[in-house]
């Protein structure tokens, strides 16, 4: 047959398993623990992206994940309570979605988890929950698989990702998990500064020190705001559950983590969120009670109230207040602005493929 170029190879059936690994550049972040039974592939990530932006995922075909998790908002929602289908509001504000690969789950009561109250132990378990949640998308998985199977585009995408055109809950969860794991935000000005590529302005640098320095009401000269006490590490999130003094016991409408662990000591604890891209993700907190960053700073400065499971460190805030003056506040905000990663917020890899 010689070397006669065979035109058939160019038109090879596109509907076959495509195991091409997805190359994710994690830059200066440490290697996370990838799910061993769900390696990231080009085809899997692409399918996850289709599903994330798919309105058919909801019972009345009006709502995609992306409707409550908008990319330019760090995959969060402008609404205080994200309205699910038929405009029914859930009890909690949407969460930001970035660097989820580093939200490691440990077994045991006080490990990490997903949702404000940590009720999902793994990302895969998490992703199917909103689909079946009556308040969110209210779709039953059975009819969803039937619905998607009607589209050749999906049958092909499932085949490329998983080898056959069978559409089931596990495959949807795995594809969504792959896509969510690729949402890495680490190209903010702060990252560029860490890598020695840029310098911080005087105000940003003062804000950085306030953010990281310990709060010491007895030595106001050296006292910082100690945000890093809880918003720590490269993702500015401990991913632990904490109570930052939002409500006294008797005013607490949502007991958060306590509903999951059953432990009194977890009353009113919520997942400590990442502060990456925080300046674009208002409103803030599990119930979206703060409309802007000024209200957040007011809270930590002089608005916290004691409750039985409040982080003991917050008692200083309650007793003395942070004592931030207007210069401190604007410096702190200038620093928070350095956590904005515009590349991530507008990257076409995360936008709708439809
Ligand atoms: C109606 C709005 C809405 C829709 C639609 C929605 N979400 Fe969410 N999402 C939320 C809310 C609200 C929370 C927090 C819920 C809670 O803690 O009880 C959340 C939490 C999450 C979390 C947890 C993040 C963390 O750090 O723990 C992930 C992941 C997530 N959603 C992914 C998805 C995916 C994937 C879809 C589509 C299958 C989706 N969401 C659809 C509103 C929505
Ligand atoms: C004692 C631990 C602790 C300290 C100290 C702390 N935080 Fe928080 N922070 C939390 C927890 C826990 C939450 C989530 C609370 C909730 O929603 O119920 C949170 C939520 C936030 C949010 C909302 C993010 C979102 O996605 O809704 C912002 C913004 C924030 N903190 C900024 C700060 C700043 C700025 C400082 C320093 C002045 C600070 N935090 C100090 C624990 C802490």
Cα of 82 vs centre of ligand 1, distance in Å, is 9
Closest CA to ligand 1's atom 15: 115
Q: Tell me the longest C-alpha to C-alpha distance in the chain.
A: 87
Distance from C-alpha of 303 to C-alpha of 15, rounded to nearest angstrom: 58
Mutating to test ligand 2, I would choose from 248, 300, 313, 336 the residue with most ligand atoms within 8 A of its C-beta, which is 300
pLDDT of residue 62: 86
pLDDT of residue 15: 79
Distance from C-alpha of 91 to C-alpha of 104, rounded to nearest angstrom: 26
Mutating to test ligand 2, I would choose from 77, 231, 318 the residue with most ligand atoms within 8 A of its C-beta, which is 231
Task: Please measure the distance between the N-terminal and C-terminal CA atoms of the chain and give it in whole angstroms.
Answer: 43
Phi-psi domain of 86 (left: phi exceeds 0; alpha: psi -120 through 50; beta: other): left
Closest CA to ligand 2's atom 36: 227
Cα of 146 vs centre of ligand 1, distance in Å, is 23
98 lines ligand 2 (CB under 6 A): no
Residue 276 near residue 236 (C-beta atoms within 8 A)? yes
127 lines ligand 1 (CB under 6 A): yes
Q: Let me know the angle formed at the C-alpha of 243 by 135 and 297, rounded to the nearest 5 degrees.
A: 95
pLDDT of residue 1: 40
Q: Let me know the angle formed at the C-alpha of 174 by 169 and 178, rounded to the nearest 5 degrees.
A: 150
Buried b (16+ CB within 10 A) or exposed e, 306-339: ebebbbeebebbeeeebebeeebbebbbbbbbbb
Distance from C-alpha of 270 to C-alpha of 238, rounded to nearest angstrom: 11
How far is residue 243 from each of residues 146, 190, 266, 296, 326, measured CA to CA in Å?
A: 43, 27, 8, 14, 26
Residue 136: which of 91, 183, 174 has the closest Cα?
Answer: 91
- Positive/negative CA dihedral, 129, 132, 136, 139: positive
Distance from C-alpha of 266 to C-alpha of 270, rounded to nearest angstrom: 9
Burial class (CB in 10 A: 0-12, 13-18, 19+), 117: buried
37: CB partners within 8 A, 6+ apart: none
pLDDT of residue 2: 42
How far is residue 311 from each of residues 8, 201, 284, 287, measured CA to CA in Å?
A: 66, 32, 19, 19
How far is residue 299 from each of residues 19, 247, 282, measured CA to CA in Å?
A: 49, 11, 15
49 lines ligand 1 (CB under 6 A): no
Residue 177: which of 27, 32, 34 has the closest Cα?
Answer: 34
The full length of the chain comes to 354
Counting ligands in written order, the one closest to the CA of 129 is: 1
Residue 53: which of 176, 183, 182, 141 has the closest Cα?
Answer: 176
Tens digits of pLDDT across the chain (354 residues): 444 444 444 444 567 999 999 999 999 999 998 889 999 999 999 999 999 999 998 888 888 999 999 999 999 998 888 777 666 667 899 999 999 999 875 444 445 689 999 888 888 888 888 777 777 777 788 888 899 999 999 999 999 999 999 998 899 999 999 999 999 999 999 999 999 999 999 999 999 999 999 888 888 888 899 999 999 999 998 878 999 999 999 999 999 999 999 999 999 999 999 999 999 999 999 999 999 999 999 999 999 999 999 999 999 899 999 999 999 999 999 999 999 999 999 999 999 998
Residue 71 near residue 350 (C-beta atoms within 8 A)? yes
pLDDT of residue 86: 63
How far is residue 240 from each of residues 68, 141, 143, 331, measured CA to CA in Å?
A: 23, 31, 36, 27
Residue 223 near residue 215 (C-beta atoms within 8 A)? yes
- Positive/negative CA dihedral, 112, 313, 228, 93: positive
137 lines ligand 1 (CB under 6 A): yes
Residue 188 near residue 339 (C-beta atoms within 8 A)? yes
Distance from C-alpha of 306 to C-alpha of 175, rounded to nearest angstrom: 43
Residue 193 near residue 340 (C-beta atoms within 8 A)? no
pLDDT of residue 132: 76
């Amino acid at each position: 047959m010689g070397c006669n170029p065979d035109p058939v190879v160019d038109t090879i059936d596109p509907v076959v398993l495509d195991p091409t690994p997805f190359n994710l550049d994690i830059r200066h972040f440490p290697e996370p623990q990838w799910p061993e039974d769900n390696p990231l592939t080009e085809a899997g990530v692409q399918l996850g992206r289709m599903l994330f932006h798919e309105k058919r995922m909801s019972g009345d075909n009006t709502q995609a994940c992306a409707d409550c998790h908008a990319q330019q908002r760090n995959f969060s929602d402008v609404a205080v309570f994200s309205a699910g289908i038929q405009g029914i509001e859930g009890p909690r504000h949407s969460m930001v979605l970035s660097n989820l690969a580093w939200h490691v789950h440990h077994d045991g009561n006080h490990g990490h988890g997903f949702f404000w109250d940590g009720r999902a132990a793994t990302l895969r378990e998490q992703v199917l929950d909103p689909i079946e949640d009556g308040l969110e998308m209210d779709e039953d998985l059975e009819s969803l698989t039937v619905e998607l199977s009607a589209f050749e585009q999906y049958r092909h995408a499932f085949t490329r990702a998983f080898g056959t055109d069978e559409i089931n809950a596990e495959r949807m969860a795995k594809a969504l998990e792959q896509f969510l794991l690729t949402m890495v935000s680490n190209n903010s000005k702060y990252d560029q500064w860490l890598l020695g590529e840029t310098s911080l302005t005087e105000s940003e640098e003062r804000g950085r020190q306030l953010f990281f320095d310990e709060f010491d009401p007895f030595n106001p000269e050296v006292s910082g705001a100690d945000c890093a006490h809880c918003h720590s590490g490269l993702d500015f999130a401990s991913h632990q559950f904490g109570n930052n003094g939002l409500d006294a016991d008797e005013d607490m409408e949502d007991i958060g983590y306590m509903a999951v662990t059953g432990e009194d000591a977890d009353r009113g604890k919520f997942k400590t969120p990442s502060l990456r891209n925080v300046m674009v993700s208002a409103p803030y907190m599990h119930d979206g009670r703060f409309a802007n960053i000024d209200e957040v700073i007011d809270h930590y400065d002089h608005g916290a109230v004691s409750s039985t499971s409040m982080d003991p460190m917050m008692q200083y805030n309650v007793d003395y207040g942070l004592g931030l003056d207007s210069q401190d506040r604007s410096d702190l905000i200038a620093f928070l602005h350095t956590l904005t990663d515009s590349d991530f917020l507008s990257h076409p890899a995360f936008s709708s493929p439809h």
